[in-house]
Structure formats: C-alpha cells, structure tokens
Chains A and B, each alone.
Chain A
C-alpha cells in the first residue's frame, strides 16, 4: 500500500481523543481539523455544527476508509474487504426498512444513509420513494444482492418481523465474510479467523446475555445468533441453558482455556464481573475484538497482510464509535468522567506507533 494512502489511514492518539472530552462541538471540530476526518468535517457547514452532521461525517469517513483499503488491495484480500464493506450496505438496508416501518420522510431517511457499494443515494432514494411498507421494500430490493435473504424470512402469520429481517441480513453478511476467509491461505486465514471469529463470538455471547436478562425463550434467542466461530452451536446452546450469568461465564471460561489468550483475558474479566450490570459486561465484551486486533497487529505487522487491515478496521470503527460518544456527550452536556467510562479503550492502545511501524 502506498505510504500516501497509509498516511490517510492514521488513527487519533488516545490522549488526543481523551482531550476532546468536555469540549464543545465547535472545539471538537477544530481539534479534528488535522486528523484523517478533515475532508468530511470541512463539508460540514461552519455556521451549523450539530451532532448529526458530525456523526454523518464520521460514518462517511469510515465508509471511505474501507473503500480506500479495497482500492489498494487485490485478490482474496480485496474480496474479503468487499464482503466486510457490505456491513455498511446492510446498515443502509436496515435504515430503509426501519424508515418504511416508521413511515419516515424520504429526505429525512436519506440523511441516515452512508452510501456504499451498489446501494448509492439514488438507489436508496428510489427504494424509499417507491416502497411504503416493509413488504414493499422487500419487493423493491428483489434484484439486489440481499433481496433473496429478505424474501426468505418467513413468518407463520404472514406478519414480517423487522428484527428478524435485520438478523437475516447480518447473518448473510457474516456468512459471506466467513466464505471469503475460507478462500485465504496460511497466516492470512489464521489471522482473519481470529479477528472475525472473536467478533462473532462476542456478538453471540452478548445476544445470549441479553436474551437471558429479558427472559427470552432459548429457541427464540437462537434465531438471533450469528454464525458460530470458536464457540460452536453446542457451546452456545449449553450457555443458553445455564441458570445465571455466573454459571454461563464459568462454563465459557472453561472452554476458552484452549483458546487465544485474548479470550482467556476477556472471559476471566467477565467471570470476575458476572454480578455486575449487563451494560458493564457488554462493554468488556466489546473490547474483545479490539484486544484481538491489537494482538494481531503486534504479532503480524511486519508486512501488509489481512491481519493488519482487519485490525486497522476494528481500531478505526472503535475510534469512530468513541468520537461519536464524545460528540454526543458534548452535545448532551454529559460529565466528562461519564463519557470516558463509555469509551472503548483497550488498556495498552498506542495506535499511531503501531501504524507507523507497520507502514
């Protein structure tokens, strides 16, 4: 990858990120003027700096970063990145479905869409204008890649459940990503499986925890699970059958004995905090893909490989989420200490050093 391109893919230093907490929106925009977000932020009107514009700018930056990585990659890595970019596309389809369900105005719904891949603004606008219900959106997307996925979601009484459509889309994207990982070989395959695997495991454990908290029937929880990774279907079923969070964590902690050290670290932490509120457990789980990404960066950052890209994308997504959190906190006048608690920061994160080293 050209060095110029790498320079554009810089991450914000954690100290700089923390320094943004407590600043007003204008101050945050000014402080980020020299960051990789400058292009998207300069498009924001200087008169009206509001949270919404900034959130859109952050998401656009993330989408453009993926596009750049796709541009500079080739072969199976490119295919995998294209599959990963479909997460953004699927987010757009979800927005369209929700907009149709909530009868949101076309122009208003378009503001929430970050154009990506085949689903550009014109296509989204056409679908939103044409379809007045979820069923009509499914029909309007019939020739689109995920049209079949949506059509396959059947409901016994003919009533379509929006959440199941969303889950079906996520599952389809993850299946495609996993399919592309299978095409990789050697160290690339190993790294990709580790980074994407922990993401899926975290998603599934979070779903089970939430399902248990809401006393949802295990059979229903199963419908919301993503394709299994390190935790097989049997392991997940066993976790669903446990009586409480502690026993669930105990059983999972035993299983991760043979797993990567990041799993051990995370599940030891989860076991220790098993009596804590679910929000804290979710926060610990969400750190897992980041920890794995950093681990892969440390172990395999000598050359441009899939580990580097996937780790970078995870770190970038965490950065976007952290910035969004800081901006929303600033807009809602949330105390800085509370904002900092919600940030996703691994204990030993020094992004720029690692990126420079690898480039």
Chain B
C-alpha cells in the first residue's frame, strides 16, 4: 500500500463524511488555483527567457562594438599608448543597488540597478587633444555594456526565483493531487464502507427485531 492510499484518522460518521467531501472539493479548488498560478508563472518565465535572449544579444553586440573600437584605437595610436592611457585614466566608479519589485502574481522579485558614481562632468575623461575618438567610443560602449550585464543579472535572478516558485507550486499541486485528494478519497470510501456496514447491521437488527415482534404477537 502506498502512503497516498493511507486513510486519514477520522471517526466514520456521516458528519465526518460530509466534512471529507467538503475538504476534497476545497483541495481540488486549491489545486486548480495553483495550476493557474503555475501556468502564469510558466508564461512569465518564457517571457523573461525571451528577454534574456534579447538582452544577451544586445550585450554581445555592445561588447563586440566596444572591442572592435578598442582594436581600432590600438591600430591608430598603438597598443603601447592605448594601454598606458587605459591604465592611467580615472576608473569609472559604479555599484549595483539591489531592491525588490512586485512582479507577476504580486510576488516580490529582485531588481538590480546600476549606481554610477558621479564623474567630474566638467572635465573630459581622456586627453581630448591626444586620444583617438575610437577609444572614447569604446569606453562608452563598455559603459553601455554594464547596463546590459546588470539587466542580464537581474533577469537571471528573477528566472532563478521563478523556477524555485514553479518547483514549489508543482510540489504543492502534486501533494494535493497525488497525496491529499487520494487520502481523502480512501477515507471517504472507508467511511462510506463503515456507514454502509452499520446500515446493513442496523437493517438486519431491524429485521430481527421485527421478526421477534411478530413471533411475540403470534404467541
């Protein structure tokens, strides 16, 4: 006998039978709601996966452009000079702020935001009289790539969370459908059986009593 087939510990009464039937209806209702949540989550997951694909494509394009411009700047000004400039320029300060945002089904998902430390806007980052524009453009593209990287990290975190939720919902649905409802079914059948048995015994008892009453009346 499987665990799912183990009956619940209940008194085999009509009242209990009614309660069990109500519980079964409720469990089926919950399973339906969970199934709908699961479907919504799967749709949202697919949407996010598509966004991941689009963001990853944008990131690859942005990084390819940054790399290609960097190589161009090296071709024009020489690797030695470009590496010196790249190493001596003030680095871009940035941080990632992690918040939460309400998403599908009102669930809180992580939200990442690029927090750039304000650079000195009054002065150019590179020496404008001695740096090829390609290096500047490469730096812009690299900074742009950061946004895509953060966005991709956020989507990955959301997808991971969604997958956990989907797994949880699946477990809950499975538990209801394959454990709780079968248990209730087994118990209902048990209670019905017991009640039928009691009814049969009562019927026999009634018939015996009726027969005895008739015999007494004949005497």
Contacts and interface: CB of A to CB of B under 8 A. Distances in A.
A316 B198 CA distance: 113
Given A214-B124, A217-B122, A332 B129 contact: no
B217 to A, nearest CB: 116
Interface in B117-164: 122-124, 126-130, 132-134, 136-137
B88 interface: yes
Q: Which of A101, A163, A226 has the most CB of B within 10 A?
A: A163
Interface string A147-165: 0000000000000011100
Contacts of A334: 71, 75
A236 interface: no
A347 B129 CA distance: 26
A211 to B, nearest CB: 5
A102 B128 contact: no
Contacts of B124: 163, 210-211, 214, 216, 220, 224
Contact of B71 (A55, A166, A279, A332): A332
Contact of B87 (A104, A216, A217, A279): A104
Interface residues of A, number: 47
Nearest to B84: A98
A209 to B, nearest CB: 8
B210 interface: no
A59 B78 CA distance: 10
A334 B69 CA distance: 12
Given A102-B84, A161-B123, A226 B129 contact: yes
A237 interface: no
9 contacts: A98-B88, A161-B123, A162-B127, A163-B123, A167-B127, A216-B128, A278-B133, A332-B71, A342-B76
Contact of A328 (B74, B128, B129): B74
Interface residues of B, number: 26
A60 interface: no
Given A214-B124, A214-B136, A52 B79 contact: yes
Nearest to A113: B80
B194 interface: no
Given A324-B75, A324-B78, A332-B71, A211 B128 contact: yes
A210 B136 CA distance: 10
Interface string B72-115: 10111011110011011000000000000000000000000000
Contacts of A161: 123
A92 to B, nearest CB: 11
A56 B78 CA distance: 10
A216 B125 CA distance: 10
A321 interface: yes
A325 B137 CA distance: 18
Given A214-B124, A216-B124, A217-B122, A166 B130 contact: yes
Interface string A63-96: 0000000000000000000000000000000110
B123 A51 contact: no
B129 to A, nearest CB: 4
A106 interface: no
B3 to A, nearest CB: 63
Q: Which of B79, B81, B124, B136 has the most CB of A within 10 A?
A: B124
B76 A210 contact: no
Contact of B128 (A94, A221, A329): A221
Contacts of B81: 112
Contact of A167 (B79, B129, B132, B136): B129
Interface string A165-197: 011001000000000000000000000000000
B126 A98 contact: no
Contacts of B126: 163
B72 A224 contact: no
Nearest to A112: B80
A225 interface: yes
A325 B127 CA distance: 21
A244 interface: no
A220 B122 CA distance: 8
Contact of A55 (B79, B84, B128): B79
Q: Which of A211, A213, A214 has the most CB of B within 10 A?
A: A214
Given A56-B80, A210-B128, A225-B129, 16 more contacts: A94-B84, A95-B84, A98-B87, A98-B88, A99-B84, A207-B129, A210-B124, A214-B136, A224-B124, A224-B127, A224-B128, A279-B132, A325-B76, A328-B79, A332-B75, A342-B72
A101 B126 CA distance: 14
A282 B134 CA distance: 10
Contacts of A166: 127, 130
Nearest to B127: A163
Nearest to B71: A332
Contacts of A59: 78
A216 B131 CA distance: 15
A206 interface: yes
Interface string A296-327: 00000000000000000000000001001100
A249 interface: no
A319 B130 CA distance: 19
Return the 10 tightest CB-CB contacts between A and B, nearest first.
A102-B87, A163-B127, A98-B88, A101-B88, A98-B84, A325-B75, A224-B129, A102-B88, A112-B80, A328-B75
A94 B87 CA distance: 13
